[in-house]
């Protein structure tokens, strides 16, 4: 252990950068391989796997990081039986200013206590209530899209999901609703700022706009806490406002506002990416659309929440395959608390480690034709993703596993049930090919994917 490690708590120690004993390549001074990672994380992680094997060293966003290119290592790090992999210190290096105070920025006992409050919003009874709200809002919105015919689907899905997130997690007064476009912009600025290469808080830079966006969102929630506390609302915002910790103390206004910013971000941005990428594959694979439509025609309405994926297995396959190829969270970051060993390789204390989800989900030793869109690989008679419990991990695993995964599934199924029952999704221009794919912070075609909705 270093002298720092002996005197300071783990979350105040500087990161360990001494990883010369691990094979790898740092890349450019300062930037390392950050630009390549933002361009295409799966390609970068794959390059390291082929050049250096299962464990290597890479430098990203200024931190030397151990890249763990095997599902066995993902299992060790994410399950974290020895409480040695700090989620907070992992994300802090890349997203600290933006995720501040959110659940991923808390570790161990403190995390457990905060997660308990958040979990309340995802109990089965709550989910059943959300299901009817989600289906009602989706039905109305899809009818509006259909009347327009040509839409930029990412922009529309993002607005719809933010609208739904407010409907279920943060009920607004009529007077607040005018703020929604600003809120949408602030979330977009925040996420664009989070991948800015130049991290100086200087006007004109994406990073600066991102910080401003976050400050706006935090203020939005702070300004409404007193009113929410006094209300008898049953949304997540009210639950955080009324909750107490193990000692009976209420959460601070800061904590509440930070949780809400993170929750609302997680609730719409991740699923907007998944649903947009699915539209891309569906427009390319009309035969899959036909199969889905045939399933939907035989499904009773409203679709029962509890059995959604069982009654619509191909819908589940499309969702799972899309987030295999384009995981909305492309990598999971942690930092060691104490020195440890992974598969015989010594990892010092305070070292950044990366679980490269985007590569593990295309790992050539585990997946057949890894780059091909094949939703049937999740069919009952194939279950390709079950070869290893951590080869398909779009929702992470262990104590920080996504709290909203059932909600994401509900959003996805409700949206595509509505869309495909009424319309065929085509590219707006014949022969369209996305001019470019953005991979981080979330995957989406750069042009937002213009599509045409053709009535059946």
Is residue 55 at the binding interface for ligand HEM, with CB under 6 A as the rule? no
Residue 340 vs 357, nearer CB to ligand HEM: 357
Q: Answer yes or no: are the C-beta atoms of 79 and 237 closer than 8 Å.
A: no
Stretch that binds ligand HEM, among 68-76, 208-216, 284-292, 403-411 (CB under 6 A): 403-411
> 3-state class of 235 per DSSP?
coil
Interface residue with ligand HEM among 266, 279, 303, 451 (CB under 6 A) is: 266
Cα–Cα distance for residue pair 451/432, rounded to 1 Å = 10
CB of 359 to ligand HEM, least distance (A): 14
274 binds ligand HEM (CB under 6 A): yes
Verify binding: residue 170, ligand HEM, rule CB under 6 A. Answer: no
Among 407, 423, 432, 442, binds ligand HEM (CB under 6 A): 407
Is beta strand 437-438 parallel, antiparallel or unpaired with respect to 352-355? Answer: unpaired
Q: What are the tokens at 291?
A: 């199969």
In the beta sheet, which residues pair with residue 423?
455
CB atoms inside a 10 Å sphere around CB 27: 17
The single-letter DSSP state of residue 303 is P
Asked whether position 329 contacts ligand HEM by CB under 6 A, the answer is yes
Contact of 384 with 367, CB cutoff 8 Å: yes
H or E element in which residue 85 lies? strand 85-86
Euclidean distance between CA atoms 139 and 421, whole angstroms:
11
Quick check: 42 binds ligand HEM (CB under 6 A)?
A: no
* Closest distance to ligand HEM from the beta carbon of 10 (Å): 17
Told to check if 395 binds ligand HEM by CB under 6 A, we report yes
Spatial separation of the C-alpha atoms in residues 190 and 215, rounded to whole Å: 9
Which is nearer to ligand HEM, 396 or 441 (by Cβ)? 396
Q: Is residue 41 within the footprint of ligand HEM (CB under 6 A)?
A: no
60 vs 263, beta carbon nearer ligand HEM: 263
Residues 91-110 that bind ligand HEM (CB under 6 A): 103-104
71 lines the binding site for ligand HEM (CB under 6 A): no
**89 forms part of the interface with ligand HEM (CB under 6 A):** no
- The DSSP result for 149-164, as a single string, is -EEEHHHHHHHHHHHH
- Contact call for residue 402 and ligand HEM (CB under 6 A): yes
Nearest approach, Cβ of residue 25 and ligand HEM (Å): 25
Q: What are phi and psi of 147, to 5 degrees?
A: -65, -30
Q: Which residue is nearest to ligand HEM (CB)?
A: 404
**366, 387 in Cβ contact below 8 A?**
yes
Q: Which is nearer to ligand HEM, 103 or 345 (CB)?
A: 103
CB of 315 to ligand HEM, least distance (A): 14
How far is it, in rounded angstroms, from Cα 86 to Cα 84? 6
Which conformational region is residue 168 in: left (phi greater than 0), alpha (psi within -120 to 50 degrees), or beta?
A: alpha
The site that binds ligand HEM (CB under 6 A) totals a number of residues, namely 24
What is the token pair recorded at 253?
Answer: 């206004």
- Residue from 270, 272, 267 nearest 153 by CA: 272
Q: Identify the residue among 22, 76, 77, 87 touching ligand HEM (CB under 6 A).
A: 87
Q: Is 267 in the site for ligand HEM (CB under 6 A)?
A: yes
Q: How far is the CB of 275 from ligand HEM (least distance, A)?
A: 8
Maximum CA extent, the chain:
69
394 binds ligand HEM (CB under 6 A): yes
Give how far the C-alpha of residue 358 lies from the chain's centroid of Cα atoms, to the nearest Å: 12
Contacts of 339 (CB under 8 A, 6+ apart): 1, 346, 347, 348, 349
Residue count of the chain? 456
Which span sits near ligand HEM by CB under 6 A: 123-131, 201-209, 267-275, 358-366? Answer: 267-275
Q: Provide the mask over 216-235, with x wherever binding to ligand HEM is found by CB under 6 A and - wherever it is not.
A: --------------------
Q: Which is nearer to ligand HEM, 283 or 323 (CB)?
A: 323
Residue 363 engages ligand HEM in binding (rule: CB under 6 A): no
| Cβ nearer to ligand HEM, comparing 44 with 164 | 164
Which one of the spans 124-132, 201-209, 327-335, 377-385 is the region binding ligand HEM (CB under 6 A)? 327-335
Q: State yes or no: residue 115 binds ligand HEM (CB under 6 A).
A: yes
Q: In 3D, which of 402, 372, 395 has the Cα closest to residue 384?
A: 372
Q: Which of residues 304-323 bind ligand HEM (CB under 6 A)?
A: 323
Output the CA–CA distances (angstroms, integers) from residue 79 to 108, 210, 389, in the order listed. Answer: 12, 32, 11
Taking CB under 6 A as the criterion, the residue among 61, 271, 361, 414 binding ligand HEM is 271
Alpha carbon distance 42, 287 (integer Å): 28
Report CA 217 to chain centroid distance, whole Å.
Answer: 19
Q: Are 213 and 191 in contact (CB under 8 A)?
A: no
Nearer to ligand HEM, 209 or 315 (CB): 315
Instruction: Give the footprint of ligand HEM on residues 279-308 (CB under 6 A).
Output: none
Chain residues that interact with ligand HEM, rule: CB under 6 A:
87, 103-104, 115, 118, 263, 266-267, 270-271, 274, 323, 328-329, 332, 394-396, 400, 402-404, 407-408
């Amino acid at each position: 252990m270093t002298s720092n490690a002996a005197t300071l708590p783990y979350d105040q120690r500087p990161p360990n950068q001494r990883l010369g004993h691990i094979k790898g390549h740092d890349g450019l001074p300062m930037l390392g391989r950050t630009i390549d990672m933002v361009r295409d994380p799966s390609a970068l992680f794959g390059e390291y796997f082929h050049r250096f094997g299962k464990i290597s060293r890479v430098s990203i966003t200024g931190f030397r990081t151990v890249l763990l290119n095997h599902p066995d290592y993902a299992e060790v790090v994410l399950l974290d039986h020895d409480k040695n992999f700090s989620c907070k210190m992992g994300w802090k290096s890349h997203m600290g200013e933006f995720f501040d105070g959110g659940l991923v920025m808390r570790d161990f006992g403190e995390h457990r206590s905060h997660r308990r409050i958040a979990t309340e919003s995802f109990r089965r009874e709550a989910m059943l209530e959300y299901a009817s709200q989600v289906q009602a809002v989706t039905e109305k919105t899809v009818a509006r899209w259909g009347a327009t015919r040509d839409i930029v689907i990412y922009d529309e899905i993002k607005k719809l999901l933010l609208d739904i997130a407010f409907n279920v997690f943060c009920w607004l007064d009529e007077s607040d609703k005018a703020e929604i476009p600003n809120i949408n912009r602030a979330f977009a600025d925040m996420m664009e700022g989070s991948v800015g290469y130049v991290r100086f808080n200087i006007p004109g830079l994406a990073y600066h706009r991102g910080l401003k966006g976050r400050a706006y969102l935090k203020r939005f929630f702070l300004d409404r806490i007193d009113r929410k506390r006094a209300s008898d609302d049953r949304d997540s915002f009210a639950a955080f406002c009324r909750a107490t910790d193990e000692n009976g103390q209420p959460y601070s206004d800061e904590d509440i506002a930070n949780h809400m910013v993170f929750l609302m971000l997680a609730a719409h941005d991740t699923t907007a990416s998944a649903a947009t990428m699915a539209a891309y594959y569906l427009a390319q694979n009309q035969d899959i659309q036909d199969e889905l439509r045939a399933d939907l025609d035989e499904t009773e309405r409203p679709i029962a929440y509890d059995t959604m994926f069982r009654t619509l297995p191909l819908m589940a396959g499309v969702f799972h395959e899309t987030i295999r190829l384009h995981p909305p969270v492309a990598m999971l970051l942690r930092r060691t608390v104490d020195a440890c060993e992974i598969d015989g390789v010594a990892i010092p204390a305070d070292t950044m480690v990366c679980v490269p989800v985007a590569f593990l989900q295309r790992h050539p030793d585990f997946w057949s034709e890894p780059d091909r869109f094949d939703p049937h690989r999740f069919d009952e008679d194939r279950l390709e993703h079950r070869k290893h419990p951590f080869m398909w991990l779009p929702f992470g695993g262990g104590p920080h596993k996504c709290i909203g995964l059932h909600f994401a599934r509900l959003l996805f199924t409700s949206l595509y049930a509505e869309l495909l029952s009424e319309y065929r999704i085509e590219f707006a221009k014949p022969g369209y090919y996305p001019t470019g794919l953005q991979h981080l912070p979330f995957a989406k075609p750069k042009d937002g994917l213009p599509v045409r909705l053709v009535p059946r």
